[in-house]
Structure 1
């Protein structure tokens, strides 16, 4: 999990604590929790065609532009997309790479799979299969295109369930 000091380059404590339902946190979004099944009473559900029987996606009308990747009935990742107005620790879609790097200076950088530099991925160095991390996808314009929170290796998937 991310440490709790911004100077360490990781998320402050409020990113991991229960916050408003409009904030993506390391532990989840609303009643959806990383590492747990989708709650039966939740507004999160599978919608539309699915890529496979093992890896499924779920969305909620309560959170436009967000979706979850569910593998073996366990939430592995939550993604904020272009239509989302939600934030992770105050950063949302359209934030600058600089603002992400200032808040989280220890994130590791990887080349973007489909876009030319300066597009890149900025990822929690301590994300693992048992500890949630964050990944910011930076576009060629230097701005956040997607924000993911979840467990490795799914956190680093670049094509949804792949």
Structure 2
């Protein structure tokens, strides 16, 4: 419910104007610091239950936040950033792990012990003039030249080889 405030005649634009009412914005139901950290407890309707200190609040999520990040934060216990300046809202997540950096030229260079990608429908690696596409029960390799190199031995196991 919004409060109504009557303005006195001296507060109006002209003395001949009749007294008017101004609708005030509703007071936020939760008072939080301008910026705080919390942990997600559960999804609730359109928002999330967030524990900030000893209290729990149901807060909406800013439209710029990827919903998948919130699911991951719930599973991992990562902290969320809450903007409490006006109406409290989940503004993002606090990064706690390294991400693969992309340099200013768009290159990603990483040295890792293991690399794994799981795709449900299709995986595609593409460069100008060539691609490798992997789909269930099918691998397609396209290029002007396809090179296979082996130091010791190369095995090809197949029931049918079809060359165009």
Give TM-score scaled by structure 1 length: 0.22
Task: Flag the structure with larger Rg.
Answer: 2
